[in-house]
Amino acid sequence: MERYDKFLATASFLFLAVIGIALIFYQAPYAPDQFFVFAGLVAFIIGKGKKFLRDWTPPILLILAYEYLRTLIPEVNHVVHYLPMITFDKALFGLPPTIPLQHLFYSAAALHWYDYAASFLYYSHFVIPLLVAFAFWLNDRRLFENYVFTIVGVSFAGFLTFLLFPAAPPWLASLKGFLPPVTHITAIVSQHLLGFLALPTVYAVFKSNPVAAVPSLHMAYAAVTAIFLSKKFPKWTPLFVLYALAMAVGVIYLGEHYFFDVLTGILCAGLAYWGVHALFRTKTVERIVDLPEQA
C-alpha cells in the first residue's frame, strides 16, 4: 500500500509539472487559482481532496489577495522611482549589469538558447514554487506550511515596498531615457513561443503593475525555494543554489531587474524565512507546553 501511495504521489506531481511546463510555452504559466483547480482535481482523484481544500485554501486566497492589492498601487502612489537603483548599481559595478550583459550576449538578429532559458526561468515565477509546495504537501505537511506561509510573507512584504517605493525596471527606465538602450528580452521571446492559451483565471480582471521591481519577487521566491529544498535535500544544496543564481542573473540579463532589486529580494526572503520560522517554532513550543495539561 505504501508503494502504491508513493506511486500516486509521484504521478500526481509529474502530471502537474508537465502541465506547468506546457503552459509556460503557451504563455499561460500557472496562476495560483489555476493551479488550485488542477492540483485540487488531482488531490480528489488520489483521495486527499478534503485535506487539500483545508491546507491550500488559506495560502491561495492570501496570495490572490496580495496580487489584487498589488494592482491597486498605481492608483494610490503615482511617484515612480527610476534613479536610486541605477545609482546603487553604478556605485558597485560602474553601470547597471543589464547593459554589459546584453551587450555581450544578446543579439537582435537571432535569439539564443540562453534567451529562452532565462525567459523560461522568469515565467516559472509561480510554477516552480507551486510545484515545490505540492511536493512538500504530499510528503511533509509541516514543511509545506512553513514554505507556503514564507512565500505569503515575502509577497506581502513586497506589496508594502511596492506601495511605498514604486520602482521601474531597467527596460522601462531605458524607454524613459534614464538608461542607454535596454532590450526587454522576455517580451521578444514571448513572440517566438507556441502561442497564447487564455485559460480562465481571476487574473483576467487584475491590472498589471509594471513599477513593482523592488524587491524582485522572482528572486525572493527563488531564494525561499532554494532554502527550503536545501533543508529537505541537503545533498542537493549546490543545485538549488545554482537555481537561485540562475534566476538572479536571468532577471538582470532580461532587463527585468537591477542588482539592487535582486539583493533586496534576497533580503526579503531571508527576513520572511526567519519570521515564519520563529512563528512556527513558537507555536510548536506552545503545543509542547500545553500537552501535559491536555492529557
Widest distance between CA atoms in the chain: 72
Could you read off the pLDDT of 171-230 as tens digits, one per residue? Answer: 999 999 999 999 999 999 988 886 776 777 887 777 778 899 999 999 999 999 999 999
Total residue count of the chain as it appears in this document: 295
Structurally, how many domains does the chain consist of?
1
Three-state DSSP state, 212: strand
C-alpha cell at 96: 547597471
* Cβ pair 54, 137 in contact under 8 A: no
Inter-residue contact 152 to 59 (CB < 8 Å): yes
Q: What global pTM score does this model have?
A: 0.91
For 160, the domain range is 2-294
pLDDT at 283: 60
Query: What per-residue confidence (pLDDT) applies to 129?
Result: 95
- Alpha carbon of 29 to those of 74, 129, 147, 177, 247: distances in Å? 24, 12, 20, 32, 17
Angle at 254 between CA 152 and CA 67, to 5 degrees: 25
Residues in the chain, pLDDT under 70 = 1, 194, 197, 282-295
Q: Which amino acid is at 101?
A: L
Task: Quote the pLDDT of residue 203.
Answer: 76
* Residue showing cell 489555476: 34
